[in-house]
Every structure is written in C-alpha cells, then in structure tokens.
A and B are shown apart, each in its own frame.
Chain A
Amino acid sequence: MEAHAAHPAAAPGPRAGIRLPGAGAGLGRGTVLLYLSVIVLLPLAAVASKAFENGLDAFWTAVTAPQAVAALELTVIASLIVVAINAIFGTIIAWILVRDEFPGKPIVNAVIDLPFALPTIVAGLTLLALYGNDSPIGIDVFVSRVGVVMALLFVTLPFVVRAVQPLLLEMDREMEAAAASLGARGFTIFRRIIFPNLLPGLAAGVALAFARALGEFGSLALIGIAFKTEVASVYIRSLVESGNEAGAAAVSVVLLGASLLLLASITLIQRWSSRHERGGDTGLLVMPPSGEDFTKEKEPDDE
C-alpha cells in the first residue's frame, strides 16, 4: 500500500484516477483477507479456542489419553513408513517417466494423478475389495496396519513423483556424462550427482506427502474402526460424534501443529533451493499437482 501511495498521479495515463491509487488493491486485499478469514481462519480459531477451553490440564489429559496416544502414534509411524516407501518408488517412477521411453508412457503419466482425482472413500472401498477378506487374489491384509499403510501409499504417491519429475527434467546431463566418462557406474552416478540435485524437490514432496498422510480420512474410514487401525482423524471423528468436542479439538491441534511445521519446512526448502525457479521471487510455495507436462525433457539450451 505504501508503494502505491508513493506514486500518486505521476504520469497521467488514459484513465488517470479520480480514485486513490491504492484503493483498488486495498479493496481487493481486504476482500481476499475477509474471504480467507471467514472460510479458513475463523474455523481454525474455533478449534484452537475449544482445545484449550478448559485449561492446559484438560488439553493435556485429552491428548495423552491412551486411545489418543495410540491413534497419534499409529498416524505418525504409518505416515513415516509411507513417505519412506513412496520416496523410493516415487523417484523410480519419476525416473522412468523422464528418462525412459516405453509404450503406454503417457497413460502411466496420466494415471499418477489418479489419487488427486479419485474420492478417498472410493479408494478405500476398492482397496478393501482388492486386499480385504473378500480379496479375489487371496491377499487379505487390508483390515490391519498394513492396510493403513497401503491406503496412505495410495493417496500420497503423486506428491513425490510430481515433485521429483521437474528436477529430473532440468538436470544438467553433462555432469552425468562427465562422471560416466571418468568411469563411474550407474548407481554411483545416481548417488553422487543425481540424488543431491533431486534432494530439494524430494524433500518438499516428502514433507507434503507426510502432511497429507497425517490428515487422511476417507480411505481409512471403512477400516478405521479398530484400535489397531484407528488413525488420528478417525479418532477425532468418533470424539466429535460422542459429543467430546474439546477432546477432538485438542487432538486436532496436535495434528494441525505438525502439519503447520511441515508446511513451514517446505517453504524453507524451496527458498533454499534456488535452482527451482518456478516459485519466482514472490517466495510463494509451489506444489504438485502442477499444470506442466513433465515427461518431455527440454533441450539443454532451453532454460
């Protein structure tokens, strides 16, 4: 706003204003903030307020209740396992999408986004059908912690793939060629040259996937009825339905805190990685899914 005020009608253009220069942006900004407040901030404030409504002790009791602890533990551990697995497989898939050519590649590339498009309840239902006790292929694991991991793998896969793909694309192949000519073999090249360059994107993708996994609900709703498979979101829902809103709010605050930390770390990662210019100098977060096509490598001259 100050910037505009410093430039009053300097060079009168075709519509030099009767209006104050800053007013338009100010009004727009005000509306945006109002919209965000009503839709996002107010609800979150209500949760935070409710969590501590009866004081810090009540909050602590709710959060350390055995069932709460079990749910949070399962959520965190499962999410960690899931992002580790998807970090590996996601990179592999990104690799074959960028560096490899095979029939059906466009279809594979398209399918990666399926978890973004498919309703989570449908995902849960079909994973249950495929890997539950009616499984046509005899794999009955879904109603268990393994099932929790599977469902989370499903919903978080695209995050890693789409975070790594652009970095693979932009990578300078000359370094790899140089390393190869010096006698380094495939995996060494990957370890020493490629992987460090992927790290920022991978880290951001992993953090995003982790945040997503922490809050996942729909795909776990059908199996989340046992202690063994009750994740934090399912536990929160049962608390809400039983009328224990303060307890639900308390556990929610814990989840929120973790997610906010992750978001903050993603921002830091992306700022630190100057290579990744898509965010530009506005410092804004850039996350998958993105509208760019990451299967076609650019020529080395393009930048």
Chain B
Amino acid sequence: MSSSRPSRWGLRILGIGYLTALLLAPLVMIFFKTFEDGIAPPIDAITSPDGLHALKLTLLMVIVAVPLNTLFGVGCALLLVRHKWKGNAIIDGIINLPFAISPVVIGLALFLLYGTNGWFGPALAEAGIKILFSVPGMLLASIFVSLPFVVREVVPVLQEIGTDQEQAASTLGANSWQTFWRITLPAIRWGVAYGMVLTTARVLGEFGAVTIVSGSISGETQTLPLFVAKQFEQFNFAGAYGASLLLALLALSALLAMNLLKGKEA
C-alpha cells in the first residue's frame, strides 16, 4: 500500500513529534539539568559517602538478583517447554504476576511477611535475622519485580530450536551436563543475555517496593533511585540530577545492549 506523501509525512511528524516530547526531550533534560550549576556539584553529590554507598547498594542488588533470576529463568523455561504438565499454565501465570502488581503492593506484602508484627517477624527477630530496613528485604523486593524476564525470553527460543540437536547429542554419547552446556545453552544464549539485560534494567530502576521495605536509611539502605528522591526532597537538585544522570547512563547502556542483542536470536 503506497501512502501519499502528505500522509506519510503527517504520520512521521505525529509519531516522531510524540516521541520527542515524551521520551527524547526528558532524556536530554537530564543532561542539561545535571550540569546547570557546573560540573562540580553533581560529582560531589555522587562521590559523597552516601552517594557512593547508594551506588554500591544498587550494584549489589543487581549482582544478587540477576544471577538468581537467570538460574531460575533458564531452569523454569526448560521445565515449561520441554515437559508438558497440566500445571504449566499456572506456573506461567504466577511468573507473569510481577508485571501486573504495583511495586508498592509488593513492598506492603514484604512488610506484612517480615515486619515485627508480620507472619515471620517475631520468629526472625528472635533468630536475630533482619529482613526489613535492611539489605535482604530489598533483595527480596528486587528479585520479585525482575523475576519474569529471563523466563519469558528463553521460552520462545527453546520452542523454536526444538529438541533435534539435543537428541542427536544424547545418542552420540553426550551426558546430560554436556548436552546442556554444549548444545542447549549456546542455542539459547542470546535469549538469556537479552533477558539478563532486561532483568538488570528493572533491578536498577526499582523504586516503589524498595522504598517501603528499606526505610530509605541513607548510608545503609538507600539505593540510587531512593537517593535521587531523597536528594530532591532536600533541595539538593544537583545531587538528584547527578544520580539520575548516572542511572540514565546505565539505562542507555542497557538499551544499547538490548538493541545489539535483538535479532541475534534468529
């Protein structure tokens, strides 16, 4: 269908205009706002002890949540695709829940489980284990919100590649681990990689659930997104935008990785 020139330009202007106003302009804004008063203020804010701690904490979230959810994702995908079971649809449904639940509700849920009056609160307190207002609670929140990505990316790939190669490898004498390592994993690696990037981006940006379970204790339980919010509240705009810029750069790297990996699954 060939569209007329005016309508083609009309669509372009509408589409790209919308994107610019909604996505691109705000992105550019971060850069401008960060260095509004010079280079020093944002850098000072980020390299302050609290800023650095926030960065470290955010990276810690990533380092724990991503491998966990990747392991889970690959294993679960194998399970769902290679083993037909009546309950697979239920498992699939549960896996999709994190997409549909507000992060605030997730924070509340963790509060209800591990708070002092929660289901496990008293028992944990007695054992000296602290979940809320501390790192483990934040990890649980991060794992929850980023759970589905690897599964979902690996499932279609597993379906597409089929079992022929794996079967061939078995008959040639490869044992289970070898088959997985040498045949299955390489075949799904781009799906896994893409899923891991999405997981990472989601963990980096998590705000709602972590706000509630962490108490946003600066220097202890404040991730970078929480740091941004706190700095903004304190009128430390340089700090808020500086940390935002850092997060935006990480996001753009994730975006870049996403786009490089796209289409490699084919």
Give CA–CA (A110, B173) in the complex, Å: 44
What is the 8 Å Cβ interface bit string for chain A, positions 244-269, against chain B (1 contact, 0 not)? Answer: 01001100100110011011000100
Which of B16, B101, B212 is in CB contact (< 8 Å) with A237? B212
Asked if B72 and A283 sit within 8 Å, CB to CB, the answer is no
Distance (whole angstroms) from the CB of B179 to the closest CB of chain A = 10
A95 CB within 8 Å of chain B: yes
Name B5-21 residues within 8 Å CB distance of A. Answer: 7-8, 11-12, 14-16, 18-19
What is the 8 Å Cβ interface bit string for chain A, positions 214-247, against chain B (1 contact, 0 not)? Answer: 1111100110000000001110110010000100
What is the 8 Å Cβ interface bit string for chain B, positions 197-217, against chain A (1 contact, 0 not)? Answer: 010011011111001100000
- Name A's interface SS: helix
A56 CB within 8 Å of chain B: no
Give CA–CA (A153, B208) in the complex, Å: 18
Total contacts A-B at CB 8 Å: 319
Asked if B244 and A126 sit within 8 Å, CB to CB, the answer is yes
Asked if B265 and A292 sit within 8 Å, CB to CB, the answer is yes
Asked if B251 and A119 sit within 8 Å, CB to CB, the answer is yes
Known: A50-B112, A125-B240. A33 touches B15 (CB 8 A): no
Residue of B nearest to A94 (CB): B15
A contact residues around B85 at 8 Å (CB): 1, 25, 29
- Name B's interface SS: helix
Most buried by B among A123, A212, A233, A259: A123
Give CA–CA (A153, B33) in the complex, Å: 22
Give CA–CA (A89, B12) in the complex, Å: 11
Distance (whole angstroms) from the CB of B147 to the closest CB of chain A = 6
Binds A, one of B40-48, B122-130, B152-160: B152-160
Known: A217-B207, A282-B81. A113 touches B263 (CB 8 A): no
Asked if B102 and A177 sit within 8 Å, CB to CB, the answer is no
Interface extent on A, as a size class?
35 or more
B contact residues around A259 at 8 Å (CB): 100-102
Asked if A284 and B155 sit within 8 Å, CB to CB, the answer is yes
B59 CB within 8 Å of chain A: no
Known: A121-B228, A215-B100, A249-B108. A13 touches B171 (CB 8 A): yes
A-B contact pairs, 13 of them (CB 8 A): A43-B144, A46-B119, A109-B259, A115-B23, A121-B244, A122-B244, A214-B102, A215-B105, A221-B207, A282-B80, A284-B88, A289-B258, A293-B262
